[in-house]
Structure 1
Amino acid sequence: MTRTRRVVVTTATLLAVGMVLGAGAPAAQADRSHPRDVHPHLRSNLVAYYDFDHPVEGDPALERDQGRSGTEIELVNGGAAMRVADRAYPGSGKALQTRQVNPAENGNDDWKAGTWSASGVRNLRPFAGTQGTTVMGWFKLDMDGPALNSTTANPTDRFNAIGLAGILTGDSDGHGVRALLELIDVNGELRLVALGRRLDGGNSQTFAASEDWRTLLPKGRWVHLAATFDFNTGALALYRDGKPLDGFYTRTDDPWRVSGPGPHVTTAADPRGIKIGGSFPQNSLERNPCDCRMDALMFLDSVVSASDVEKQYRYMAR
């Protein structure tokens, strides 16, 4: 049993005990209902939220969820050292540092974060059978392109993507996603994208920003990003610092199979977890590491409107 699997079981057990005793779990839920830096319009749909200022008591390698689900995540390989002093926005505290550790070795030592369970993460059930999802947060890159590929013998081979943050499918091996913000090669050019999959085992759709990724994410600068996934209509959108980005879909067919009668929702299976700063949060393989910092990562079970994305950005950047 992996450490992240034990975290899921422990969280569920504590919630059950709290309900029986009428104490612990309800109080924690109430505390998470009004996170300080989340705009009131978003709070009811905030499933998971990580500001990296709330280590789990007794185990600082775990981060508490400030959303309603109570889904703890693990700071993989770096533990407490991954919380660094760097303000993404006024009023923020620490940020998460992720990075590739040894590009010359096929190992499992990259700094990343998340949670994974082969049976699905029960706390993330709001993302099962949902019509919409939003992923957003603050990101600061410290790299000029995808990292060297530590899984191949070629010393010049590089990964084709830089992982930011996303929600896994219900059948994911730690890589496959329902909703993901990342930088990935699109027709030979790295682009900022929203990549989503409505049906487990089905095809993904990608919406890629038209503007150069180095302009959208200047090295060493904090930027607020958001991606929305409307699984009912097939529409995706990207936002930077509260403003929508022009872009294009990489497929012109119907990869999500939404052309027939609706409503259309995601597969009714609990996601297997969350991945942040790279794939395989269970630490079984290295892929698409991100040498970067992140803060205020939000995962919502709705399509946040353009107006509310801007409100959230201004609420934090005020």
Structure 2
Amino acid sequence: MRRPRRAALAATAALALALTAAASPARADRPGPHDVHPALWPHLVAFYDFDHPVDGDPALERDLGRSGTEIELVNGGTAMRVPDQAYKGSGDALQTRQVNPQAAGNDDWKAGIWSSSGVRTLRAFSGAEGTTVMGWFKRDMDGPALNSVTANPTDRYNAIGLAGVLTGDSDGHGVRALLELIDVSGELRLVALGRRVDGGASQTFAANEDWRTLLPKGEWVHLAATYDFTSGTMALYRNGEPVDGFYTTAGDPWQLNGPGPHVTSATDSRGIKIGGSFPQNNLERNPCDCRMDGLMFLDSVIPAGDIAKQYRYMAR
């Protein structure tokens, strides 16, 4: 990855914050992206449809949400935009994938942004009461990929990364809110994984149903996950419908028994990761041989009814 591009990306994100800070949060009557139901506009921090390359650097993707947080298409650049309609009216989709499982390199196709000082345009996730991550996903793999950073040639990762928001102290892997497939007691499951306090424990809400049924190979599926940091609850949705599941960690991993308010750490998120970890491209982990589209990152818990509206709005 070219360092000048990374510097330009951080500078552009800072400029976007300066230009939009006075207008945030967005008003309910403020026009939003045409692919987003108006009920979600006030909460839409970042939205990527992979049809909007940045002028002058098409390896960057424009944010159609209010934050203006551009992300990088890591390693594959423009080749990662592929013609595949996830929903009616969509154009290109994002292709992520493992490139060389036999070598300990940094060549996997993934997307995102990372800054060691935090991404200021993602400040909506600092001290947040809730978060929602949603989008369209199509998998093209039968399980976690071969682990390219261990000596064992048959070792595999324990997860498949979809999309998430990083913590304020993240090394490129740790998250505040993440959609992924991960091993739970020896069985791969679709999960929402959240962390309220930087450096603190995470909680996982895992789907009961088989992950291959929820995310059939070669089929576009709309997934959403909500994270209520005030109540300590999470939820999963598939094609607008709630998904039954269970929490994997007993006790109080989000430290809600102490004095409130119970919100996320008051630190700027260090970025967004899509299709694998470490968007700064210094390590590989949990690659996803997948296509993705219509990715949304919102700064509140979107009600079930509005998630259903968004699915129907895109799938109409």
Number of residue pairs matched?
Answer: 309
Preserved CA contact (<8 Å) 1:8 1:71: no
Query: 1:2 Cα shift?
Result: 7.0
Q: CA deviation at 1:3?
A: 3.7
Aligned to 2:10: 8
1:82-161 alignment, distance < 5 Å: 82-161=80-159
- 2:165 counterpart letter in structure 1: I
Q: Identity of counterpart residues, as a percentage?
A: 76
RMSD: 1.7
Distance 1:302 1:14 in 2: 21
- Within 2, Cα distance between the matches of 1:199 and 1:3? 31
Residue type of the alignment partner of 1:13: L
* Cα displacement string for residues 144-173 of structure 1 (whole angstroms, at most 9, x for unaligned residues): 000000001111000000000000000000
**Are the counterparts in 1 of residues 127 and 264 from structure 2 also a CA contact under 8 Å?**
yes
* Match for residue 57 of structure 1 among 50, 55, 75: 55
Q: Distance in 2 between matches of 1:14 and 1:266?
A: 23
Contact 2:191–2:205 (CA<8 Å) still a contact in 1?
Answer: yes
1:13, CA displacement in angstroms?
Answer: 3.3
Offset of 1:5 from its aligned partner? 4.4
Deviation at 1:261, TM superposition (A): 4.0
Q: Counterpart amino acid of 2:60?
A: L
Identify the residue that residue 256 of structure 1 maps to in structure 2. 254
Aligned-partner Cα distance in 1 for 2:56–2:31? 23
The residue identity in structure 1 corresponding to 2:164 is G
Within-5 A mapping of 1:1-318 = 3-13=5-15, 16=18, 33-318=31-316
> What SS does the aligned partner of 1:225 have?
strand
Tell me how far 1:15 sits from its aligned partner: 5.9
User: 1:91 corresponds to which letter in structure 2?
Assistant: G
Q: Residue 34 of structure 1: CA displacement?
A: 1.3
Separation in 2, partners of 1:193, 1:301: 19
Q: With the length of structure 1 as denominator, give the TM-score of the two structures.
A: 0.94
Decide whether the 8 Å contact of 2:16 with 2:68 is kept in 1: no
Partner in structure 2 of residue 22 of structure 1: none
Superposed CA deviations along residues 213-257 of structure 1, whole A, max 9, x for unmatched, are 000000000000000000000000000000000000001210001
Amino acid at match of 2:185: N
Name the amino acid aligned to 2:181: L
Separation in structure 2 between the aligned mates of residue 279 and residue 186 of structure 1, nearest angstrom? 19
Alpha-carbon distance between aligned partners in 2 of 1:77 and 1:255, rounded to the nearest angstrom: 36
In the aligned structure 2, how far is the partner of 1:99 from the partner of 1:307? 33
Q: In 2, are the aligned partners of 1:8 and 1:121 still within 8 Å (CA)? A: yes
Instruction: Give the distance between the partners of 1:136 and 1:10, measured in 2 at CA.
Output: 25
- Superposition deviation, residue 262 in structure 1: 3.0
> What SS does the corresponding residue of 1:289 show, helix, strand or coil?
coil
Q: Does structure 1 conserve the Cα–Cα contact (< 8 Å) formed by 2:137 and 2:290?
A: yes
Q: Distance in 2 between matches of 1:193 and 1:205?
A: 10
Structure 1 residue 112: Cα displacement = 0.1
Residues 15 and 188 of structure 1: CA distance in aligned 2, closer, same or farther (over 3 Å): closer
Tell me the TM-score normalized by structure 2: 0.95
Distance 2:33 2:194 in 1: 27
The letter for the 2-side match of 1:78 is: G
5+ residue gaps, structure 2, are: none
The whole-number CA distance in structure 2 between the counterparts of 1:199 and 1:2 is 32
CA contact (8 A) 2:53 2:59 kept: yes
Give the deviation of 1:9 after TM superposition.
1.4
What CA distance in whole angstroms lies between the structure 2 residues aligned with 1:154 and 1:163?
A: 21
SS in 2 for 1:49: strand
Shift of 1:6: 3.2
Residues 69-120 of structure 1: per-residue CA shift (max 9 Å, x gap)? 0000000000000000000011111100000000000000000000000000
SS in 1 for 2:192: strand
Question: Would you identify which runs of 4 or more consecutive aligned residues in structure 1 move more than 6 Å?
Answer: none
Deviation at 1:33, TM superposition (A): 4.2
